[in-house]
Structure 1
Amino acid sequence: MTTAVCLHAQPSGPRFGYDEIRRGVFAPKSVSGVRSMRDGEHYTTLDEGRILKFSYRTGEQEAVVFDASAAEPSLRFTNYVFSSDERRILLTTDVKPIYRHSFTADYWLYDIPSGGLRRLSEGGPQQEASFSPDGSRVAFVRDNDLFVADLDGGTERRITSDGKFNSVINGIPDWVYEEEFSFSKAFEWSPDGTKIAYLRFDESRVREYDMNTFRGELYPQVYTFKYPKAGEANSVVELYCYDLSSDRRVRVDTGTETDQYIPRILWTPSGELAFYRLNRLQNHFEVLLGDEQGNTRTIYDERNDRYVERVDDATVTFLPDGERFVVRSEKSGFMHLYLYGIDAGEIAPVTSGEWDVVSLLGIEGDDVYYLSAEESPLRRDLYTVKLDGRKKRRLTGGDGTYSIAPSRGFRYFISYFSNVSTPNRVTLHRGDGRPVRTLEDNAALRDKLAELEVPLKEFFTFETSEGVTLNGYMIRPRDFDPAKKYPVFMTQYSGPGSQQVADRWSMGWEDALVQEDYIVACVDGRGTGFRGEEFRKCTYRQLGRYETEDQIEAARYLGTLPYVDAERIGIYGWSYGGFMALNCILKGNDVFRMAIAVAPVTSWRFYDTIYTEIYNGLPQDNPSGYDDNSPIRFADRLKGKLLIAHGTGDDNVHIQNTYEMVEQLVRHDKPFEMYVYPDKNHGMGASRHHLMERCIRFVKENL
């Protein structure tokens, strides 16, 4: 069964190209850098070096909290955070990125009452500076060791002393934890500010990866870092609790198994240390509490035949009473919220139904606020419900995708909304959903889109030969003629839990192709997210098999449409999507005429432990799952035109992947085009526009 798209011709008018996209002509305005103040009635924003204070209720600017241009010395800062009493501000300056989330910086302290401004430390760049709960101290990491600065006394205390690059890390995660568990601070203050819990990573047994860095130097430098590939040794991670008053350090019992993960540490509101524990295969998840002697007990235990979905800060939320907590789990087959007691176990489900909770935004009293895909897997809405599951209410009113920035106490929230026809609309609401004012409606952009008659995404579904219904969208040229035959350019990512087919506004480089009379299409195959556990996890232990089959079937389906030229279908992807683009043009060599693969994984044996093993198991236990779907093994099947691009400084998907793919293509005497970007990381940085322009040219020449 197929959902038909509307066929209609549109009048001709001025066209646009990638140059307009590159210059930001279609970039929607937003309201960014919002920080709710502790009273829940005010918020601050960052505007051209000034921290401005606004009233949620009136929208009026009430104060300039800090002005960098008027400060002595004058600073250029990129981020800020208030102390809990809002008397001090920690300013982030001179940021130097390390990996995806991590960076070093020079932090400055601004004292609001006195107007005083000073460096946090003279000892060198810091990482992850963080106020104590009372604002009297700041903890930070320097050179893999944890420090605490006393702001009133001006002293600096070194908490650890064994930190060493590529050996031991204290208070920040190693590469694979940062990348896959998405955090860069591995220490947490206790609620009373007397203790700091931190993780210690012993990387000594993790194998190293070497990257040449060029940077215009006569001789390249080699950057060596610890990168655990699938099936290889991880860091040994220990959890410690340091008492600042007694200078006493306690090692917390994380169990006898060292080949495991500690992906989060946190404190309960009552002052107990808690942490997550995952086994190596990530199908056994636990939450444990520790006492002052380092003894621990398990308060939550979840097992899954395949894997427990990726954990994050909102997987477990403790309530203010210190006795209850809310867990996000898909044990019902869909992601939902459950109320637990530390001693009582499961109390009651908070949400239920054949739809997924996307994120938990906050709990105030008995009111739980969350985003869900209840209306449609393609949309997101804000709901509130009582902890006992009663009185569920939708707080957002439009059809599309919402993201939410709540005030303290959820007295107000800022809504960011878009759908396929509406670029970002930012509105302010009371906590019950009542609108207060519009902060940004992007009227000028909407007028520009109307003037240029920019085509909209049109959603469709189709059923595969295995009876699976897949969601897709297509964008057709504005002067579309159903009597003509159009080439189709497919874009996709396809990774586990991802989603590209969604009711939200976006414009990418592919939209320039629509202006050149190409149809752009996208289909989310099996393994993608927000359609329940079974749809997402059916790819377990065979990454790339079903995803590739679904993209090939999607291309075949599109080729049956009367206005599609079935001989001119191409496919593109980046990272996981690059892995897929390669598999599709090789295994679907009778369907795809061309493919573009950017920064592709070409064998999951080359990728990291945490991401790869949760979905594919260990290569020692599942060699066929790693090898049977590796495009390296099918290079001899290439018939169409292929472009591969990679950055030599990609610390995530190493250029080794592309080099091994190239070796096989050359061995089988297959022609291809290749772009190599020296020193560029996984996102290509400043070279991204160069690459996109080359991609457009490649499509026009070969499709």
Structure 2
Amino acid sequence: ESTRFLQQERRGFPRRAGGHGSCIRAGREGRPHGCLCPIHPGSCRKVTWGPAHPVGSLERVPMPAPQPKHRPPRAFKMQHFIMEPLFNAVLFFFFPSNQIFIFENNIYYCAHVGKQAIRVVSTGKEGVIFNGLSDWLYEEEILKTHIAHWWSPDGTRLAYATINASRVPTMEIPVYTGSLYPTVKTYHYPKAGMENPTISLHVIGLNGPTHDLEMTPPDDQRMRDYYITMVKWATSTKVAVNWLNRAQNVSILTLCDATTGVCTKKHEDESEGWLHRQNEEPIFSKDGRKFFFVRAIPQGGRGKFYHITMSSSQPNSSSDNLQSITSGDWDVTKILAYDEKRHKIYFHSTEDLPRRRHLYSANTNGNFNRRCLSCDLIENCTYFSASFSHNLEYFLLTCEGPRVPMVTVHNTTDAQKIFELEVNENVQLTVNDRQMPKVEYMEIKIDDYKLPMQILKPATFSDTAHYPLLLIVDGTPGSQIVTERFEVTWESVMVSSHNAIVLKFDGRGSGFQGTKLLHEVKRRLGLLEEKDQLEAVRTMLKEHYIDKMRVGVFGKDYGGYLSTYMLPAGEENQVFACGAALSPLTDFKLYASAFSERYLGLHGIDNRAYEITKLAHRVSLLKEQTFLIIHATADEKIHFQHTADLITHLIRAKANYSLQIYPDESHYFSNAALEQHLYNSIVNFFVACFQVQDKLPMAPLKEEEDDD
């Protein structure tokens, strides 16, 4: 189980600037160990692993909790552990012979458990200057993890990022409960066009006198303001770094010498839209002279697709030889491993269909023949993920759908199954005993694109009955909502228990269908997504079994922006009877700089894209539609300010809206009871909407060109 640290963090506020330690194991991945260090740096004591137990008066004990799927991926997993009652203890991982911990954003080093800790980085400042840890922006939008330090393979060096947020404006989040007067939590949050945190990458040697060396950023005018999106050790003395300019349309991949700080450019990428998938790590050969990375390569009329490129260093030459290992109008979604002995690279791809994921291998010499290792391997399974043993003799294969997930172990040579690790028999029995939704897929043509649609129907579906239609939107650029993964969500409840039909659709701006489709929404968020989603709804409204009176729409986060944007659609002949938005984005200038600027450009230089995407311009069109807004007041990602601003315009428009708040709760609901309340509220809202019988029927959207 993923583990939550310090309960006040999971209530939505940034970590207490190193208030808990954060170490990562060097070398091969394996079972982490834990250490506890007192609040004043001193010796470390080892923690044994076992069941969790109550701990005296220590209130903020790390408690296990399931990780929400929408939470950015964390860098570690662990089991429950016993914790000695040390006041303000600090938890961290360690390399078998070297350990570090981070306290008050300074880095401390222990040569061995029980030895005195030495402070090796001392520039940290709580909440302002972060060493080895991410600030809010880097954790949420750039690195997608709070870990910002990386051990060299032999454990003799440590690379770490220094993130300086001193010039970033602060956000104040009110805390209403728990005290007589409300208090506030403050943290640095860069909104569109505001000052960003600065970042630098350093390497310190841990054998002998510590020497701190900064890696040199690219000497390029386009990189005056940059992000570091990826750090990966190639060898014990070489570290790969990806630099991305603030406009996010130019990136430079470098290989830096950890002994001199000199960085050599290995690859440069540029885009007329924005650069996608910038924090993916390359895979290196043991000597570091050859590496594999994913880049967008032109594949004809559908634009670029993401494929594996092999970069090989040439003797007595400053230039590298680049070769494309894969090609076609499909994406490599992840590189998994490189087998030097067999000359094979292993990866996931969408070659079968964009909504599927299979495991493939490809030769890295000769004609680069590739082979699907998971195709037809497990019945009713088309969506896989895999991981390989250290020696690449075996791989762990996780079937994620459409069937109930299962995990098997296979021989790499012939993909033969060795044994089943988990088949989720009890889950399968439960599913067999339930009336699960029937899932159907179809494509509709919009302009030059064939776009995928997923339809969830009740198990007892009859084409002579009439069903309400619920559209679920996500739409975050590059995302994908139509997949063949196994899911049981509140939407499943709407289908199985309340006889609704649920519709999901990937339109322009979605991922895994080429960069031409992806970049269509550049500087015009909402416009094309609305058009495409409404075309999907119009396709369904042609079916006689859809009740045109009862059509609803739901979205959260960016999907909440789209659901609100779409709700007034149809003007006189309104399409939707009701809609709900969870934590909606309402004005992109109020949101994180890295996200908003990626799609709308730099605020302050040309603000037109920001103005035309405001929801304030849309809600004035709302008429009789029932609208539910749900937002947590301590949302640290999409601030309640978004909803407050939206409500002022809803009041002016005399819109029929309801507001449900969760006091002092964060964006990522950490309380299971609150989550249950949240989804019960959403289900009840749509059940009530779909029971209304006295409204005029919703007219289908007028066909644009059908009469011509």
TM-score normalised according to structure 1 size: 0.82
Counterpart position of 1:288 = 254
Q: 1:39 to 1:281 in 2, by over 3 A?
A: closer
Q: 1:155 to 1:354 in 2, by over 3 A?
A: same
Q: 1:591 to 1:180 in 2, by over 3 A?
A: same
Is 1:503 aligned with 2:478?
no
Identity of aligned residues (%): 27
Q: Say which is worse superposed, 444-453 or 402-411, in terms of deviation.
A: 444-453
Task: Return the alpha-carbon distance in structure 2 between the equivalents of residues 155 and 67 of structure 1.
Answer: 23
Counterpart position of 1:62 = none
Counterpart position of 1:131 = 94
Q: How does 1:543-558 map to 2 (within 5 A)?
A: 543-558=525-540
Per-residue CA deviation, residues 405-457 of structure 1 (Å, 9 max, x unaligned), is: 3222222122111433x111222211131111222323443333333332221
Counterpart position of 1:356 = 331
Counterpart position of 1:179 = 140
Task: Return the alpha-carbon distance in structure 1 between the equivalents of residues 682 and 236 of structure 2.
Answer: 55
SS in 2 for 1:637: coil
Is 1:222 aligned with 2:184?
yes
Is 1:559 aligned with 2:580?
no
Q: How does 1:419-430 map to 2 (within 5 A)?
A: 419-420=401-402, 422-430=403-411
Using the TM superposition, give the Cα deviation of residue 221 of structure 1 relative to its aligned residue in structure 2, in angstroms. Answer: 1.6
Which amino acid is the alignment partner of residue 480 of structure 1?
F
Which amino acid is the alignment partner of residue 534 of structure 1?
K
2:320 to 345, 350, 353: 345
Is 1:593 aligned with 2:577?
yes
SS in 1 for 2:568: helix
Q: 1:440 to 1:290 in 2, by over 3 A?
A: closer
Q: 1:351 to 1:697 in 2, by over 3 A?
A: same
Which amino acid is the alignment partner of residue 504 of structure 1?
R
SS in 1 for 2:139: helix
Using the TM superposition, give the Cα deviation of residue 585 of structure 1 relative to its aligned residue in structure 2, in angstroms. Answer: 0.2
Q: 1:124 to 1:264 in 2, by over 3 A?
A: farther
Q: 1:44 to 1:414 in 2, by over 3 A?
A: farther
- Aligned 8 A contact 2:49 2:79 in 1: no
- Aligned 8 A contact 2:131 2:161 in 1: yes
Q: 1:140 to 1:383 in 2, by over 3 A?
A: same
Counterpart position of 2:7 = none
Is 1:317 aligned with 2:294?
no
Using the TM superposition, give the Cα deviation of residue 102 of structure 1 relative to its aligned residue in structure 2, in angstroms. Answer: 10
Per-residue CA deviation, residues 326-371 of structure 1 (Å, 9 max, x unaligned), is: 1210132101000012444243111111110011111121211101
Task: Return the alpha-carbon distance in structure 1 between the equivalents of residues 356 and 349 of structure 2.
Answer: 8
Is 1:397 aligned with 2:379?
no
Which amino acid is the alignment partner of residue 288 of structure 1?
T
Task: Return the alpha-carbon distance in structure 1 between the equivalents of residues 484 and 80 of structure 2.
Answer: 43
Counterpart position of 2:228 = 262
Which amino acid is the alignment partner of residue 209 of structure 2?
S
Counterpart position of 2:39 = none
SS in 2 for 1:334: strand
- Structure 2, unmatched stretches of 5+, are 1-24, 34-46, 299-303, 691-708
- Aligned 8 A contact 2:569 2:575 in 1: no
SS in 2 for 1:578: helix
Is 1:477 aligned with 2:458?
yes
Is 1:304 aligned with 2:271?
yes
Q: 1:379 to 1:521 in 2, by over 3 A?
A: same
Q: 1:102 to 1:553 in 2, by over 3 A?
A: closer
Counterpart position of 2:6 = none
Using the TM superposition, give the Cα deviation of residue 192 of structure 1 relative to its aligned residue in structure 2, in angstroms. Answer: 3.5
Counterpart position of 2:193 = 231
Using the TM superposition, give the Cα deviation of residue 307 of structure 1 relative to its aligned residue in structure 2, in angstroms. Answer: 1.7
Q: How does 1:55-454 map to 2 (within 5 A)?
A: 68=50, 94=62, 124-126=88-90, 129-132=92-95, 135-151=96-112, 154-181=115-142, 182-244=144-206, 245-255=208-218, 257-291=223-257, 292-314=259-281, 316-332=282-298, 333-342=304-313, 343-365=318-340, 366-388=343-365, 390-398=368-376, 399-420=381-402, 422-432=403-413, 433-454=415-436
Is 1:659 aligned with 2:644?
yes
- Aligned 8 A contact 2:98 2:109 in 1: yes
Which amino acid is the alignment partner of residue 187 of structure 2?
F
Counterpart position of 1:638 = 622
- Aligned 8 A contact 1:68 1:75 in 2: no
Per-residue CA deviation, residues 634-674 of structure 1 (Å, 9 max, x unaligned), is: 22111211000000111111111111111110122212011
Task: Return the alpha-carbon distance in structure 1 between the equivalents of residues 88 and 368 of structure 2.
Answer: 53
Using the TM superposition, give the Cα deviation of residue 96 of structure 1 relative to its aligned residue in structure 2, in angstroms. Answer: 10
Task: Return the alpha-carbon distance in structure 2 between the equivalents of residues 489 and 179 of structure 1.
Answer: 30
Q: 1:247 to 1:321 in 2, by over 3 A?
A: closer
- Aligned 8 A contact 1:541 1:622 in 2: no
Task: Return the alpha-carbon distance in structure 1 between the equivalents of residues 182 and 224 of structure 2.
Answer: 37
Task: Return the alpha-carbon distance in structure 1 between the equivalents of residues 587 and 685 of structure 2.
Answer: 25
TM-score normalised according to structure 2 size: 0.81
Would you say how many aligned residue pairs link Structure 1 and Structure 2? 617
Task: Return the alpha-carbon distance in structure 2 between the equivalents of residues 679 and 569 of structure 1.
Answer: 33
Q: 1:266 to 1:39 in 2, by over 3 A?
A: closer
- Structure 1, unmatched stretches of 5+, are 1-35, 47-64, 78-91, 111-116
Q: 1:264 to 1:104 in 2, by over 3 A?
A: closer
Counterpart position of 2:632 = 647
Using the TM superposition, give the Cα deviation of residue 469 of structure 1 relative to its aligned residue in structure 2, in angstroms. Answer: 2.2
Which amino acid is the alignment partner of residue 578 of structure 2?
M
Task: Return the alpha-carbon distance in structure 1 between the equivalents of residues 585 and 285 of structure 2.
Answer: 41
Per-residue CA deviation, residues 445-474 of structure 1 (Å, 9 max, x unaligned), is: 33333333322211122223x353221111
- Aligned 8 A contact 2:32 2:94 in 1: no
Q: 1:513 to 1:302 in 2, by over 3 A?
A: same
Which amino acid is the alignment partner of residue 506 of structure 1?
E
- Aligned 8 A contact 1:38 1:408 in 2: no
Q: 1:448 to 1:281 in 2, by over 3 A?
A: same
SS in 1 for 2:335: strand
Counterpart position of 2:510 = 528
Task: Return the alpha-carbon distance in structure 2 between the equivalents of residues 526 and 601 of structure 1.
Answer: 19
Using the TM superposition, give the Cα deviation of residue 237 of structure 1 relative to its aligned residue in structure 2, in angstroms. Answer: 1.2
Task: Return the alpha-carbon distance in structure 1 between the equivalents of residues 111 and 83 of structure 2.
Answer: 13
Which amino acid is the alignment partner of residue 396 of structure 1?
S
Counterpart position of 2:685 = 698
Using the TM superposition, give the Cα deviation of residue 258 of structure 1 relative to its aligned residue in structure 2, in angstroms. Answer: 4.6
Which amino acid is the alignment partner of residue 657 of structure 2?
F
Q: CA RMSD in A?
A: 3.2
Per-residue CA deviation, residues 213-244 of structure 1 (Å, 9 max, x unaligned), is: 23432222200000111111101112222233
Counterpart position of 1:28 = none
Q: 1:287 to 1:44 in 2, by over 3 A?
A: closer
Using the TM superposition, give the Cα deviation of residue 588 of structure 1 relative to its aligned residue in structure 2, in angstroms. Answer: 4.4
Q: 1:76 to 1:139 in 2, by over 3 A?
A: farther
Using the TM superposition, give the Cα deviation of residue 125 of structure 1 relative to its aligned residue in structure 2, in angstroms. Answer: 4.2
